[in-house]
Amino acid sequence: MTTVQKIKEIEDEMATQKNKATSYHLGQLKAKLAKLRRELISPSGGGGGGGPGIGFDVARTGVASVGFVGFPSVGKSTLMSKLTGTHSEVSEIDFTTLTTVPGTLKVHGAPIQILDLPGIIEGANDGRGRGRQVARTCNLIFIVLDVLKPLGDKKIIESELEGFGIRLNKKPPAILVRKKDKGGIAITNTVPLTNIDQEEIKAVLSEYKLSNVDVTIRQPNMTADDLVDVIEGNRVYIPALYVLNKVVYLLVEIICHSRWLCMQIDAISIEELDLLYKIPHSVPVSSREWLNIDELTEKMWEALELVRVYTKPRGQSPDYSAPVVLRRGRCSVEDFCNAIHKEIAKQMKYAVVWGASAKHSRGQKVGLDHVLEDEDVVHIAKN
Ligand SMILES: Nc1nc2c(ncn2[C@@H]2O[C@H](COP(=O)(O)OP(=O)(O)OP(=O)(O)O)[C@@H](O)[C@H]2O)c(=O)[nH]1
Ligand SMILES: [K+]
Ligand SMILES: [Mg+2]
């Protein structure tokens, strides 16, 4: 039986057992599922381990990368080609794009790499999910949906990505699992446990043969899946935007062929259309009519949490043409120095910063650990 079949079998058991199974048994099933899925993420042994394989991974350029995922013919390549000017074959035939097509888009002066990814959905001719492996390495994922197709697509894509250890629009769980030599299992929770009980926690730990651990839970509403994620450790937490494509197509149809629209609305029903607009992190666009793309690039910029910093040589004005682009969370003066050259931080005596992170407008003298803000200007004074 293949890994995928074993996963399916456990998922079916969990679905049928839902109410009957003890929390201990459910905990065991969740852990078993996670261990099998690990097989898919990085298959052990020959024939497919290691990187995503030829044609899937590409040289990384730019300061951040955005992966386009979605069902065939939702308009990924149309959007990618027009956004970046790099040609990615467009056609009505499904599975047109079979290897990753990279392009670059400049947003507020920062070069962002766009990756048109093939084959991450069921039935894709790539059983090893190499497209998903590349998605794991992106800083942001665009889940492209065709509003004329059923909303179910969204759920299928989310579970394909989740099954590959990608956590969309989530933060890592505030749970600590510390192994020790002896002393058994100690569970401490600084918040009430609402979605899991001690039995389920012990079942998950036993599945991973963890009999001497301290588990500290600071996460309200923690679930067994959160605990499994922390034990598995190979999760990636990536922001995602839902790009609702062809939406103007629908509106264009409303104006031109209301009769036609009645049929199309039947395809996705008024309720689904209403649901569509309630999807958090979503942007309705038309890649073909090139509408609402500004909102899409603004939301991309926000989601990537990039910080532009301009250099200011002594006695000259700042160079606004080529920002040093850092990422929130790694945007100290030291990160700024290292982004320019690894020796600069050592040579620095102090830095002067102007902008949002400086205390006063005439500039503030700071050290390496000062945290910068978007559009700050920095002068580095050397020894
Ligand atoms: N009406 C309309 N059609 C679109 C839009 N965007 C793309 N299309 C059409 O949808 C079809 C598929 O577009 P592609 O860009 O090839 O889709 P894809 O997601 O890259 O497809 P695969 O590479 O096969 O996964 C083409 O006929 C496009 O012209 C849109 O905004 N509106
Ligand atoms: K296509
Ligand atoms: Mg394509």
Q: What is the pLDDT of residues 52-74, one digit of tens each?
A: 555 567 888 889 999 999 999 99
Summarize the confidence of residues 127-140 as an average pLDDT: 80
Strand order in the sheet with 64-70: 101-107, 110-116, 64-70, 140-146, 240-245, 282-284
Please state, in angstroms and as integers, the Cα–Cα distance from residue 325 to each residue in 110, 154, 305, following that order.
Answer: 7, 32, 10
Positive or negative, the Cα torsion across 147, 79, 99, 165? negative
Confidence class for position 5, pLDDT limits 50, 70, 90? confident
Confidence class for position 104, pLDDT limits 50, 70, 90? very high
Cβ–ligand 1 contact at 252 (below 6 Å): no
Q: How far is the CA of 86 from the centre of ligand 3 (A)?
A: 12
27/331: higher pLDDT: 331
Cβ–ligand 1 contact at 288 (below 6 Å): yes
**pLDDT for residue 121:** 64
Ranges 8-22, 242-256, 296-310: which has the least confidence: 242-256
**pLDDT for residue 74:** 93
**pLDDT for residue 322:** 87
Substitution site in 56, 68, 73 for ligand 1 pocket (most atoms within 8 Å of beta carbon): 73
Q: How far is the CA of 80 from the centre of ligand 1 (A)?
A: 10
183 close to 156: Cβ distance less than 8 angstroms: no
Q: How far is the CA of 76 from the centre of ligand 1 (A)?
A: 7
Nearest atom of ligand 1 to the alpha carbon of 81: 15
Name which residue sits closest to atom 13 of ligand 1, judged by CA.
Answer: 75
Name which residue sits closest to atom 9 of ligand 1, judged by CA.
Answer: 75
Cβ–ligand 1 contact at 245 (below 6 Å): yes
